Structure 1
Amino acid sequence: MPDPFQRVAAATPPKLAHQIRGLSDRTIAWLFVAPTIFLLLAVNIFPLLWTIRLSLTNFRTNRPNNAVEWVGIENYRKILTNPDTWASLQATAHFLIWTITLQVLIGFTLAYLINKKFRSNDLWTTLIVLPMMLSPAVVGNFWTFLYQPQIGLFNYFIAFLTGADPASFSMIGEVALAPWAIIIVDTWMWTPFVMLICLAGLRSIPPSIYEAAECDRASKWRQFWTITLPMALPFLMLAVLFRGIENFKMFDLVVQLTGGGPGATTQLTSIDLKREAFEKWRTGYASAYAVILFVTVFGLASIYVKALNKVKDR
Structure 2
Amino acid sequence: MSDGAMDRVAKATPPRIARKIKGMSDRTVAWLFVAPTIFLLLAINIFPLVWTIRLSFTNFRANRLNREVEWVGLRNYERILTDSDIWLNMQATAHFLFWTIFFQVLIGFTLAYLINKNFRGSPFWTTVIVLPMMLSPAVVGNFWKFLYQPQIGLFNYIVGYFTGRDPSSFEMLGQVDLAPWSIVIVDTWMWTPFVMLICLAGLRSIPDYIYEAAEIDRASKLRQFLTITIPMVLPFLMLAVLFRGIENFKMFDLVVQLTGGGPGSTTELTSINLKREAFEKWRTGYASAYAIILFVTVFGLASIYVKALNKVKER
Q: TM-score with structure 1 length normalisation?
A: 0.94
**3-state SS in 1 of match to 2:169:** coil
Residue in 2 aligned with 1:244?
Answer: 245
Residue in 2 aligned with 1:72?
Answer: 73
* Cα RMSD after superposing both structures: 1.8
Cα distance in 1, alignment partners of residues 22 and 109 from structure 2: 54
The verdict on how the C-alpha distance between 1:203 and 1:3 changes in structure 2, with shifts beyond 3 A counting, is farther
Deviation of 1:3 after TM superposition, in Å, equals: 6.7
Verify the 8 A CA contact 1:56 1:284 in the aligned structure 2: yes
Cα distance in 1, alignment partners of residues 181 and 3 from structure 2: 68
Verify the 8 A CA contact 1:178 1:262 in the aligned structure 2: no
Residue in 2 aligned with 1:272?
Answer: 273
Q: Counterpart amino acid of 1:189?
A: M
Residue in 1 aligned with 2:60?
Answer: 59
Gaps of 5+ in 2: none
Deviation of 1:218 after TM superposition, in Å, equals: 1.9
Q: Deviations over 1:32-68 (max 9, x none)?
A: 2211111110111111111111111111122122111
Deviation of 1:78 after TM superposition, in Å, equals: 0.5
Residue in 1 aligned with 2:38?
Answer: 37
Runs of 4+ in 1 over 6 A off after TM superposition: none
Verify the 8 A CA contact 1:108 1:198 in the aligned structure 2: yes
Instruction: Point out the more displaced range, 273-282 or 14-23.
Output: 14-23
1:1-314 equivalence runs, <5 A: 2=3, 8-9=9-10, 12-261=13-262, 263-314=264-315
Gaps of 5+ in 1: none
**3-state SS in 1 of match to 2:167:** coil
**3-state SS in 1 of match to 2:241:** helix
Sequence identity (%): 79
Verify the 8 A CA contact 1:146 1:154 in the aligned structure 2: yes
**3-state SS in 2 of match to 1:144:** helix
The verdict on how the C-alpha distance between 1:179 and 1:262 changes in structure 2, with shifts beyond 3 A counting, is farther
Instruction: Point out the more displaced range, 9-18 or 146-155.
Output: 9-18
Instruction: Point out the more displaced range, 5-14 or 177-186.
Output: 5-14
**3-state SS in 1 of match to 2:118:** coil
Deviation of 1:24 after TM superposition, in Å, equals: 2.8
Deviation of 1:11 after TM superposition, in Å, equals: 5.2
Cα distance in 1, alignment partners of residues 230 and 16 from structure 2: 61
Aligned residues: 314
Instruction: Point out the more displaced range, 153-162 or 110-119.
Output: 153-162
Cα distance in 1, alignment partners of residues 213 and 274 from structure 2: 54
Q: Deviations over 1:253-275 (max 9, x none)?
A: 11111111484311110111011
